[in-house]
Amino acid sequence: MTFYRSTSLETGVQMAYAEAGDSSKPTLLLLHGFPSSSHQYRNLIPLLSDRFHIIAPDLPTFGLTVVPENFQATFAALTDAVTGLLDALQISSFIPYVFDYGAPVAYRLALQRPKSFAGLIVQNGNAYEEGLSQWWDPLRKFWKTEKGTEDWHKIREQLRDAVDLEQAKSQYTSGLSSDLISQIDPNAYHLDFLLNMSSEDKVNNQLDLFYDYQHNVALYPEFQKFFRESQLKTLILWGKNDIYFPPTGAVAYEADLKDTKLRIFDDGSHFLLETHVVQVAEAIKDFLPETGR
């Protein structure tokens, strides 16, 4: 069974999360990406919960997590919320499964608590400049423009086109064959839109995170230093046809993490779990046999 819970953090965030499995077993911390929530792991959790204790939070400004009115949408704040949840649940050791936005959240957490990481699973989650495709060019322009200026506001308004239902759908379907697109459940991206993009406040939160992502890029050298110093046992799973994070970003990890298993799915794309969830689950079980370590 998967249980859907929530807990109040000291910051005023009401953190929603899914939990499954035996808490005495190794914990997998599933961190979702844009524009989704823990819902993206709905098909993976049942395939792994017999072997692992699983925690899948809705990051603040996503899913069913509720934030206070004065909440500032930054990746530092998202990381603080995950830290608060782990403390509330008394989880001191875990293996993160990172995807998209979940990657910088996990790596920021690693800079704070490096000894808590018992391994690493990366799925289309970037930590290298070469892993950012041309899709990021408008955001790079946004980052280089002085905040609050007329040009800055103009670019921000233009980026609203990236926060709508069609773009949510594109996150799931871009790079896939027609046969694989037919396997995508439309409820997934419709739910993403309703939960994360369907009001002015929600759109503004997403635009704030677009702007703040530059601070993740600035931390890439620190993330990479953590990889080199920790030498975590790492599994990298990647959809080759991801238009946001191309597989050059997957290969880049191997320069810093020596105990790495890399698998690139030639017909996969960004939301790999929508089309290859069984293969991903088997890869994780092979990577973390028996004890999960």
Residue-wise pLDDT for 210-222, tens only, equals 999 999 999 999 9
Pairing of strands 53-57, 2-8: unpaired
Residue percentage of the chain with pLDDT more than 90: 98
Average pLDDT, stretch 208-236? 98
- What pLDDT score was predicted for residue 289? 78
292 pLDDT more than 80: no
Average pLDDT, stretch 74-97? 98
Helix H or strand E encompassing 57:
strand 53-57
293 pLDDT more than 60: no
Q: Is 211 or 292 the better-scoring residue by pLDDT?
A: 211
Helix H or strand E encompassing 5:
strand 2-8
148 Cβ neighbours under 8 A, 6+ residues apart: none
pLDDT, one tens digit per residue, over 30-81 is: 999 999 999 999 999 999 999 999 999 999 999 999 999 999 999 999 999 9
d(CA 281, CA 213): 29
**pLDDT, the chain, mean:** 97
The full length of the chain comes to 293
Q: Which residues of 88-121 are buried (b: 16+ CB within 10 A; e: fewer)?
A: ebeeeebbbbbbbbbbbbbbbbbeeeeebbbbbb
pLDDT, one tens digit per residue, over 162-201 is: 999 999 999 999 999 999 999 999 999 999 999 999 999 9
At position 144, the amino acid (one-letter code) is K
Q: Which domains does the chain have, with CATH numbers?
A: 2-133+215-287 (3.40.50.1820)
At position 65, the amino acid (one-letter code) is T
Nearest Cα to Cα of residue 23 among 48, 55, 47, 45: 55
Q: Which long-range contacts (CB under 8 A, 24 or more apart) does 110-115 make?
A: 110/223, 110/226, 110/230, 111/219, 111/222, 111/223, 111/226, 112/79, 112/83, 113/83, 114/226, 114/229, 114/230
Among 106-120, 204-218, 249-263, 276-290, where is mean pLDDT lowest? 276-290
pTM exceeding the 0.95 threshold for the entire prediction: yes
d(CA 213, CA 107): 13
Query: 288 and 50 in contact (C-beta within 8 Å)?
Result: no
d(CA 215, CA 101): 12
Q: Which residues are catalytic?
A: 270
Helix (H, G, I), strand (E, B) or coil at 116: helix
d(CA 55, CA 76): 20
The residue assigned the tokens 């009115």 is 69
290 pLDDT more than 80: no
The residue assigned the tokens 């998202």 is 78
pLDDT, one tens digit per residue, over 122-151 is: 999 999 999 999 999 999 999 999 999 999
Residue 218 to residues 108, 128, 212, 221, 264, Cα–Cα distance (Å): 12, 10, 10, 7, 27
96 pLDDT more than 80: yes
